Structure 1
Amino acid sequence: MTLHATNRLITAFTALMLWLPAGAIAAGCGSPATAISQVQGHQESSPLAGKKVTVEGIITLDSRHRGGFRGFYLQQADGETDNNPATSEGLFVYTNRTTAKAGRRVRVSGKVKEFHGLTELTDIRQVLDCGKARLPEPVTVRLPWPGNHPPEHLENMRVAVAGSLTVIDNYQLARYGELTLASAPQSIPTDILDPGPEAIELRQHQQKHRLLLDDNQGVRNPDPTPWPTPSLSANNTVRAGDTVSALDGVLDFRFDAWRLQPITAPRFHKDNRRPEAPERAPQTSLRLVALNLENYFNGDGQGSGFPTPRGAETSSQFAKQSRRLVAALTLPDPDVIAVTELENDGHGKHSALATLAQAMGDHWRYVISDEDAGNDAIQTGLLYRADRVAPVGPAKRLVTGPFNRLGRRPLAQVFRPLEHGRSVRIIVPHLKSKACRGASDSNRDQGDGQGCYNHRRTTAARALVRWASELPQPQGLAGTLITGDLNSYTREEPLQVLYQAGYTSMVHHFHPCTATGCPHHTYRYRGRHGSLDYALASPALAPRVTGAWSWTANADEPRALGYRNAAQTPEDFPWRSSDHNPVITDLAL
């Protein structure tokens, strides 16, 4: 028989082998088998689920190592596919059998199963090593997914992402070894759109067009943390906004998300480098920094009392938290600091507020009000440099209306720079979070993108506006600045109340948003960025604001670099000192 005739016979036999019924009998390598594309089918679920089949293909990626997914990814050889782009040529084989490895052709018999959306072969009866084979060529893919459809037709297949993708979430990096990627940064919808159907539609669109870079492991807290290569450290970080290229691996579906399990090492690009704290704007006479401290609790204030209800679990952990917060707060060189998520344990010498002021240095003092801070575990606070500014008159807290019983009472104090005649009133609010625990009636999530307790936050914003207008107006007062954590994004109702009262978000004034996003943000949540923290100037004060920024020292950094995690960081490390970015405002008084 000629070589040409032999090749034709092999081709015909291969075609017959691929399209035999699902119950094809297991035999030696090269015997008739069920095509993997037939197992996958055209729909989300396999048409052969529950059936016993024998398939033959190439192991593209092995996950039978310790901590892996207890199986391997199998793909039809390039010359044996059905050439139908609607069906996948890949399959996950769930087995602890150790036969063969990546780059080997194997013959496998088992039962087809749908496991939480992943088509796999389980109850494996045989794995035959059929010899060395060339890996299938990767299919080139792009995000957003074409046609607004998830890539079910590529499940378990080798793919290569064209170009680079942007890291939009690193929150689970140390816990699960994963990064969330997208074609571009994703904004909180209500940061750029009014609450309602369009915002919900945008969120759904964003959620569909993501890809998780995984580490081919099914364990928590992988050691070392895999990304960026060789491992995460204080000076080898991956910030949200960085990009990743050379993404070549198996397209996997686990835990309700599409994932890339890499075959080759991806490349990381530091496109979002750590920025220096902004320099003071010209003519600035007072600089204010506002920061959510991410639960600053000092135990009993004497080195004991740990773990605390929130925040640090040990005294050494608290010492680390303090040093890093002090670094983040002092680098911008502020005159006044407004803080939220500070332990509500009074103003005595052992209070968290006193501890923070002492850690800041000799020149720092803190504001004390006669009114109680409220019944919440946390309070707002104000600190100031006594060698630069002086408080004018008594501090006040809002204790009426919605704050009659509830905690987190806003704090107000007038300050005057020592070398200038005019003063400014600073009000520090911290409105209710979006967490839904205990929400009822109008405070439930209304399905418009604003989350739970929006009614309560909106009512509080109205009370805040009324209170600010009723406070005494001392001679020489330039105006009022409301700065703190409003737990509301830019286009949500609480902010609209403040805008309608004449207040201007100064960060957004100096750095306007576009239709696709805002250049500054203070928080990240599940891969989306937006602003929860603001510097809102009254009409009289706005012309005296010389600059305003959110300094991306925290929210873009992985949680793994926080003070509670194992990553080693320098004592004066300001990055990820909190989960919110500081808001910095310069005033010319």
Structure 2
Amino acid sequence: MFSARQVLGSVVGLTAAVAGVGAVAMPTAGATTAEVVAISEIQGTGTTSPLDGQTVTTSGIVTAAYPSGGFFGFYLQTPGTGGSLDLGSHQASDALFVYQPRSAGAVTVEPGDAVTVTGEVGEYAGLTQVTVPAAGDIVTDGTGSIEPVVSAWPATDAQKESLEGMLFTPQGDITVSNTYGVENYGELGLAHGDHPLLQPTEVARPGSDEAAAVEADNAARAIVLDDGSSTTLRPPTSRTIPYVSNTSPVVVGASVDFRGPVIFSEGGSPSAPTYRLQPTQVATADPATWPVDFENVRTEAPDERKIGRRADVKIASFNVLNYFTTLGDADDDNVGDGGCTAYKDRDGDGNNVSGGCDQRGAWDPADFERQQSKIVSAINALDADVVGLMEIENSARLGETPDEAPRSLVAALNEAAGSQVWTANPSSDELPDASGSDVITSAIIYKRSAVRPLGKARALGTQSGDDQAFGNAREPIGQVFKPTVGGAPFFFVVNHFKSKGSPGPWPGDGDTGDGQGASNESRVRQATALVEWVSAIKTETGLADVALVGDFNSYTQEDPMQVLYQAGYADSETLSGNEEYSYSFSGLSGSLDHVLLNRHAQRRFTGSDIWNINSGESLLLEYSRYNYTGADLHTDSPFRSSDHDPVVVGLKRNGG
């Protein structure tokens, strides 16, 4: 048995023989004398090289080279390796990165070159590399080819480490799972399999073995598709961004088709490296340079087949992401009103309010028009008859005419529709004084041709004190509607529970780490108060059918939702079995937005659809990112009109 060092005693001759070229002399001019070592021995079987800090000579075939983009180097793989691999027995990678700093000259090698290098072994962001100090330490001595690795998906860190730096052809289904990272470093989150990574508490009870299994599954399936560049793309920037396009959209849930092999690598932040796939050339904003093709999963409207063509009335929930008609700078002079400060684009012009005042949302009239055009496009295409809105301006709280914001939105909807289609439901006189309310509220709009309101709007306005359930959330509002085609009335209630981002006042509001985030106790109390309030109204009015809609800030299996289920309500997605999700956070999909029906109303259910127009789309398409990059990505389409997806549910006129 020979050691790797003995086998590579004449490394150049081996490289030349495998590459099919004649032997050449060892490098001399500018070269450093070093021990000849196989790449696999440099890599070793652990997470870091056993030869870290040592100077070595090794050789291989170039599989990817980056003359631009900031990588300053190329990947090198041992001749004859790759092909079909059993990851159960494959221990050490046969490839590594060669870092060629600017002092060593421009990267001139190309894929297919047989190269011998001499340099110091090191680690950067988890990636084993050899740093060459001078151009003379890189000698091209022929050509050759490498067969990409074909294997089962590397599910463990050890298996991933054994492929680090190797040319790789992904097998099986691959799905887009996270579009957020593209705007900073050109990183797109992918998941092995036919669905994105999931919030554990979306599909399993918090703290359960099942939730732990989902977390483990996420870790096994996750991978980053990088852009072959280390250039910081963080907006505002004049640069253009890869994996963002309106003509070739990249959306969470889309399947991925690799055009050819990529490099299985590691990198990112040195403090938190991740395994990733690097293209063999730098990917730019031009889809032609991308290493993959993406399925176009966009649809122009919700799926009527899922909602049910027997539906007589369609109801919906839609968080409209701080739709404010009171602007940060109403005069469009880039000077904030009332102390407002702005997030600014690459020209220094404000886009949306960052703080300093009560306003949220658009900065000036031009930004508002961009925001409103997308929301109007989304709601009109939604084709629902009753829509519950969250995160809309509480106009009375800002000293404006009550309901000014929903009425303004309705006017824009009707103008776009070409007729008086929509009506804003008036606020309830059961709400507490606006001075003590949040600057955002909920609202109801409806189509007058489809439903008519019965009686006045209702609100849970008696639980808004600091020591009461809705002291840190928006009060539920409701309206009884009756279909114009006849049939039974239903009570439509809009909700917006306390967010997960900060702890509320109750003892159980700290983030316990079980996946439910902060303020879980607050949301449980809000769900409990909601059930009691609706039950009292049912007793008072004799109503049989109830629909609870909104942003509950709770994933489907979390504690607040359990309160509602135990009271007899069922989530529309559970009833339909569609396995769709309305929100994406930290690369994980789940639903914070729900439509729930009580037992009697479930007899009227025809189907539901979560229209994925927002959560899986790149943030760069949002109105708040206008002119943030070197490309104009704004359109008046519904896509990225908010950060939450709308939920639509079909109802028959009667149950039974």
Return closer, same or farther for 1:315/1:31 CA change in 2, 3 Å cut-off: same
Structure 2, unmatched stretches of 5+, are 13-25, 282-289, 338-349, 415-419
Matched residue, 1:172 = 181
- Decide which of 72, 75, 79 is 1:73's aligned counterpart: 75
- Decide which of 202, 207, 220 is 2:214's aligned counterpart: 202
Amino acid at match of 2:222: R
Matched residue, 2:492 = 426
Q: Where do residues 445-460 of structure 1 align in structure 2 (5 Å cutoff)?
A: 445-460=511-526
Matched residue, 1:100 = 108
- Decide which of 524, 539, 550 is 2:610's aligned counterpart: 550
Whole-angstrom CA distance in 1 between matches of 2:299 and 2:9: 59
- Decide which of 382, 405, 410 is 2:471's aligned counterpart: 405
The two structures, once aligned, show a CA RMSD in angstroms of: 3.3
8 Å CA contact retained: 2:57, 2:119: yes
Q: Where do residues 332-347 of structure 1 align in structure 2 (5 Å cutoff)?
A: 332-346=382-396
TM-score, length-normalised on structure 2?
0.77
Matched residue, 1:298 = 325
Whole-angstrom CA distance in 1 between matches of 2:138 and 2:574: 63
Amino acid at match of 1:348: T
8 Å CA contact retained: 1:381, 1:428: yes
Amino acid at match of 1:135: S
8 Å CA contact retained: 2:115, 2:141: yes
Amino acid at match of 1:491: Q
8 Å CA contact retained: 2:206, 2:516: yes
Matched residue, 1:15 = 8
Whole-angstrom CA distance in 2 between matches of 1:12 and 1:123: 20
8 Å CA contact retained: 2:109, 2:140: no
Question: How many angstroms does 1:441 deviate by?
Answer: 5.0
8 Å CA contact retained: 2:473, 2:498: no
Return closer, same or farther for 1:467/1:438 CA change in 2, 3 Å cut-off: closer
Matched residue, 1:225 = 241
Amino acid at match of 2:249: T
Task: Establish whether residue 249 from structure 1 lines up as the match of residue 262 from structure 2.
Answer: yes
Question: How many angstroms does 1:338 deviate by?
Answer: 0.3
Cα deviation 1:344-368 (Å, max 9, x = unaligned): 3326278433322221213422321
SS of the equivalent of 1:410 reads: strand
8 Å CA contact retained: 1:283, 1:546: yes
- Decide which of 51, 55, 58 is 2:58's aligned counterpart: 55
Return closer, same or farther for 1:435/1:207 CA change in 2, 3 Å cut-off: farther
Return closer, same or farther for 1:587/1:164 CA change in 2, 3 Å cut-off: closer
Question: How many angstroms does 1:522 deviate by?
Answer: 1.2
Return closer, same or farther for 1:52/1:570 CA change in 2, 3 Å cut-off: closer
Matched residue, 2:342 = none
- Decide which of 327, 331, 336 is 2:381's aligned counterpart: 331
8 Å CA contact retained: 1:422, 1:477: no
How many residues get paired? 561
Matched residue, 2:95 = 90
Matched residue, 1:365 = 424
Whole-angstrom CA distance in 2 between matches of 1:497 and 1:80: 54
Whole-angstrom CA distance in 2 between matches of 1:27 and 1:210: 45
8 Å CA contact retained: 2:27, 2:139: no
- Decide which of 10, 34, 39 is 2:37's aligned counterpart: 34
Structure 1, unmatched stretches of 5+, are 1-10, 20-24, 513-517
Question: How many angstroms does 1:49 deviate by?
Answer: 1.5
Task: Establish whether residue 497 from structure 1 lines up as the match of residue 563 from structure 2.
Answer: yes
Return closer, same or farther for 1:131/1:282 CA change in 2, 3 Å cut-off: closer
Task: Establish whether residue 561 from structure 1 lines up as the match of residue 621 from structure 2.
Answer: yes
Whole-angstrom CA distance in 1 between matches of 2:613 and 2:522: 30
Matched residue, 2:637 = 573
8 Å CA contact retained: 1:26, 1:109: no
Whole-angstrom CA distance in 1 between matches of 2:5 and 2:593: 67
Whole-angstrom CA distance in 2 between matches of 1:438 and 1:114: 44
Question: How many angstroms does 1:168 deviate by?
Answer: 1.8
Question: How many angstroms does 1:148 deviate by?
Answer: 6.8
8 Å CA contact retained: 2:179, 2:252: yes
- Decide which of 282, 285, 301 is 1:276's aligned counterpart: 301
Matched residue, 1:483 = 549
Task: Establish whether residue 129 from structure 1 lines up as the match of residue 134 from structure 2.
Answer: no
Q: Where do residues 433-452 of structure 1 align in structure 2 (5 Å cutoff)?
A: 433-436=499-502, 441-452=507-518
Return closer, same or farther for 1:588/1:476 CA change in 2, 3 Å cut-off: farther
Task: Establish whether residue 263 from structure 1 lines up as the match of residue 280 from structure 2.
Answer: yes
Question: How many angstroms does 1:261 deviate by?
Answer: 1.0
Whole-angstrom CA distance in 1 between matches of 2:127 and 2:309: 59
SS of the equivalent of 2:424 reads: strand
Return closer, same or farther for 1:530/1:407 CA change in 2, 3 Å cut-off: closer
Cα deviation 1:82-118 (Å, max 9, x = unaligned): x993122222233222253223333333322222322
Whole-angstrom CA distance in 2 between matches of 1:130 and 1:38: 22
8 Å CA contact retained: 1:433, 1:487: yes
4+ aligned runs moved over 6 Å, structure 1: 28-31, 437-440
8 Å CA contact retained: 1:421, 1:476: no
Matched residue, 2:226 = 214
Whole-angstrom CA distance in 2 between matches of 1:92 and 1:357: 58
Return closer, same or farther for 1:311/1:70 CA change in 2, 3 Å cut-off: farther
Matched residues, percent identical? 32
8 Å CA contact retained: 1:396, 1:411: yes
Whole-angstrom CA distance in 1 between matches of 2:394 and 2:323: 10
Question: How many angstroms does 1:587 deviate by?
Answer: 2.5
Matched residue, 1:8 = none
Whole-angstrom CA distance in 2 between matches of 1:191 and 1:136: 43
